[in-house]
Structure 1
């Protein structure tokens, strides 16, 4: 055990990971989403794809917990249930692909998706139809697949809600609850498949505290009436993280 703790403290990029996790938590606490979009491009620079996913879901189960009770009161739980049902169908397939993917390809995929979401939303993409049950199930299925392959389940759900006329506080609550369900399901599947190795589990445990502090800081900054600021902050931080994580800069 002392040996692995020494390896943990000497882990390359640990300082960058802790800083990135705090920022990711602040974005999640402020907007209800975006932690994976901020964290995964950073994590992909320092660890294998499966490790990046393990650390993400472990810290993300704990970090948002102080904000969950309020989210339950605000969210539209029927929408969260449909999204989660779709995700659970496609998540196992996404994980199978993740286990075989090349790390460089993984990083490019994560960064491209990270950059695509804010660009589409900033260009004024808006949903012209009602968010019916079929669209919710389909979005959840796509989200579960992308979450398994690249550790970023958020983009389809973010696009769905932020392109709609939903108020910021409902979007924040819906996405926050959905992502918690996704994280719990991913941990269960990875555990059942014997993928929860000691080092990424310990890294995930170390990253819990900065993630939790970031979530608390972000939640303290959230003001429902400032919807333009809410959207702009999410776009800007996500773009910067996606650009910084590209393998081009190695």
Structure 2
């Protein structure tokens, strides 16, 4: 174990990973989402797709926990439950594709998704009707597939709620609670398929601290009356991360 820890501390790009995790946690703290969108384009530059997903879900299983009680009280649990049912159906298929995917293709896929979400939202995509059960199941199913194949479950759910007329506090709570439970589902499936290797597990545990600090910092910044400011900041950070992770810069 001491040798494994020494290798971990000497891991190539560890400083960038810590910085990216803190930034991602901060975005998650004040918006309720964004960790994967910010972190994965950075992580994809330093590790394989499966390792990137492993470190993400491990640190995310702990980082947002201080904000979970308030999210549970505010969220509309029936909506979260429907999305999770859809996600559970599609997640295994997404993971099967991820296990066979080349790292470069993974990076392009993650970065394209990361850039697409803020562009769509900034372009004024909005729902003109209530979020019914059909949309909730559909968003969850697509989210489960994307969460498996690219480690990015957020975009369908983010688009669903950020394009709706729901209050900012409900949007934040629904997305946050959904993503926390989704992360535990991914951990369980990775463990069942014997994909939890020692190095990414240790990295994921190490990254819990900057992720937790970022979540706390972001939550301290959150005020419902500053919804527009949070959206603009979240879009900007997400797009910078997506652009920086494109393989064309290698």
Structure-to-structure mapping, 1:44-123, within 5 angstroms: 44-123=44-123
Q: Which residue of 2 aligns with 1:163?
A: 163
- What is the alpha-carbon distance in structure 1 between the residues aligned to residue 131 and residue 4 of structure 2? 48
Question: What is the CA deviation profile of residues 2-27 of structure 1, one whole-angstrom value per residue up to 9, with x for unaligned ones?
Answer: 22111101100000000000000000
The equivalent residue for 1:203 is: 203
- 2:26 corresponds in structure 1 to 26
Aligned partners of 2:166 and 2:119: how far apart in 1?
19
- Give the aligned partner of residue 131 of structure 2: 131
Deviation at 1:83, TM superposition (A): 0.6
**Deviation of 1:188 (Å):** 0.3
* d(CA) in 1 for partners of 2:129, 2:166: 12
Size of the aligned set, in residue pairs, is 250
CA-CA distance at 1:167 after TM superposition: 1.2
CA RMSD of aligned residues (A): 0.5
- Alignment gaps of 5+ in structure 1: none
What corresponds to 2:182 in structure 1?
182
Q: Residues of 1 paired with 2:227 and 2:167: CA distance? A: 8
Q: Which runs of 5+ in 2 are unaligned?
A: none
Partners in 2 of 1:236 and 1:15 — Cα distance?
22
Give 1:129 deviation, angstroms: 2.0
Deviation string 1:44-63 (CA, Å, 9 cap, x unpaired) is 00000000000000000100
TM-score of the aligned structures, taking structure 1 as reference length:
0.99
Please name the residue that 2:191 is paired with.
191
Cα distance in 1 for residues equivalent to 2:130 and 2:171: 15
Moved >3 Å (runs of 4+): none
Q: Distance in 1 between matches of 2:211 and 2:26?
A: 8
Deviations 1:113-161 (A, max 9, x none): 0000000010101111221001100100000000000000000000000
- What's the CA shift string for 1:58-108, capped at 9, x where partnerless? 000100000000001111010000011100000000000000001000000
Give the TM-score taking structure 2 as reference length: 0.99
Aligned partners of 2:37 and 2:199: how far apart in 1? 22
Name the structure 1 match of 2:40: 40
